[in-house]
Structure 1
Amino acid sequence: MDITLELMKHSVLEGERILLRPVGLADASDMFEYASNEETTRFVFETHRNRAMTEEAIANYFMAAPAGKYALVVKDTDKMIGTIDIRPNLTDHIAEIGYTLNKHYGGNGYMTQAGKLITALAFDVLKMEKVFAMHDILNPASGAVMKRLGMQSEGILRRHKVFKGRSCDMAYYGILKEEYSRQAREY
């Protein structure tokens, strides 16, 4: 299976209230709104100091290799409120997901819906055996999303990452294909 081809065939995913689509330079204003907020970026990436930094991030990360990287857009308003991406490992049949959400849109179920679309893509299309995600243990809100996706805590990776000069302990969560299939049958 050509994973990149499959991801490009599924570059737009639609949920009930959200749309996942490629990130483009037209998203710079919406992304800068949250990327310049230290509270939002505290655990995920360097805070953007200006719009040019946001445009560079979009061009160099999202547009240079767009497969599996999505803008999270609220359908009613067409506002881009975050990003989510999937990083499949074909050798091990596992995929990692990562996400960022504008703090003003938290608690509305948008990221959970986006995560469910990405998890379905991983298992149903890409034929992965496991989907996992990690979060800094100081960011339990991210872990709450993982739990809502049906992921189980698999442990803490101690001092797993150095970020913004701090050695971080990372909580590791995962869901197996059979667990995902069982949940899908229950709904």
Structure 2
Amino acid sequence: MEFTTKRLIIRRLKVSDLEAVLAHRSDPYTSRYIGKPATLADAQARIAQAQLPWAGKEGERLILAIECKESAKLIGELMFKFVSVDHQCGEIGYRLASQHHGKGYAFEASSALIKEVFTQFELNKLNAICAVDNIASWKLMEKLGMKREGRLRSYMTLPSGTTDCFTYGVLKHEVM
């Protein structure tokens, strides 16, 4: 899968992305609500996983790079996976390098991803999950038209400890 927006190119990760992937995935700031900061081996494994042919099986992640057209630099990642093929339900995720926060890139990339997956796949619903303290993430989900559907207690383990998560969802007819 590859597509563009006004300012971004969304594409598969490449081996040449290693330095940028390591930089944003090892950053304690961008990792604080997602998990432990990545090592070089973690970043290499992420790229290797992203380069495998994607079969669209339940739970299999489609990992995509967010590249800025102007700079031709990787600034973050998107993720899509089927939660249930039979029930036409998927999940999205996103991560942006901290120096690119607050510029609208996450909204631009995520809203385009939502439209792409609803167009390309037989989906009725998309979910997203974030730590309750990750205010920027759940505000982005709301801006994307997603609705808060619940709170998952002690759902995620972070370097700071176990945390609750909010779960959000959007239906195809709400955005298409």
* Counterpart in the other structure of 2:112: 117
* Counterpart in the other structure of 2:51: 63
Structure 1 residues 74 and 99, CA gap change in structure 2 (3 angstroms): same
Where 2:122 maps in the other structure, the secondary structure is coil
Which whole-Å CA distance do the structure 2 matches of 1:86 and 1:17 have between them? Answer: 21
Say if 1:40 and 1:102, in contact at 8 Å, map to a contact too: yes
Q: Which has the higher helix share?
A: 1
- Normalized against structure 2, the TM-score is what? 0.88
Say if 1:44 and 1:100, in contact at 8 Å, map to a contact too: no
Which whole-Å CA distance do the structure 2 matches of 1:87 and 1:159 have between them? Answer: 22
Aligned alpha-carbon RMSD (Å):
1.7
Deviations 1:12-54 (A, max 9, x none): 11111001100011001111221221011112232134x4442
**Alignment: residue pair count:** 169
Structure 2: tracts of 5 or more residues without a match: 56-61
Which whole-Å CA distance do the structure 1 matches of 2:162 and 2:44 have between them? Answer: 28
| 2:99 is the counterpart of 1:104 | yes
* Counterpart in the other structure of 1:4: none
- Normalized against structure 1, the TM-score is what? 0.83
Task: Give the superposition deviation at 1:65.
Answer: 5.1
* Counterpart in the other structure of 1:7: none
Task: Give the superposition deviation at 1:63.
Answer: 2.2
Which whole-Å CA distance do the structure 1 matches of 2:140 and 2:53 have between them? Answer: 26
* Deviating more after overlay: 69-78 vs 119-128: 119-128
Task: Give the superposition deviation at 1:96.
Answer: 0.3
Candidates 38, 54, 76, aligned match of 2:28: 38
Say if 1:122 and 1:131, in contact at 8 Å, map to a contact too: no
Candidates 4, 13, 17, aligned match of 2:3: 13
Which whole-Å CA distance do the structure 1 matches of 2:102 and 2:17 have between them? Answer: 22
Candidates 157, 161, 166, aligned match of 1:162: 157
Deviations 1:43-72 (A, max 9, x none): 2232134x444223322x322355622000
Q: Percent identity?
A: 26
Deviations 1:77-118 (A, max 9, x none): 111011001112311101100111101101111111111111
* Counterpart in the other structure of 1:76: 70
Structure 1: tracts of 5 or more residues without a match: 1-10, 182-187
Where 2:119 maps in the other structure, the secondary structure is helix
Say if 2:35 and 2:157, in contact at 8 Å, map to a contact too: no
Task: Give the superposition deviation at 1:163.
Answer: 3.5
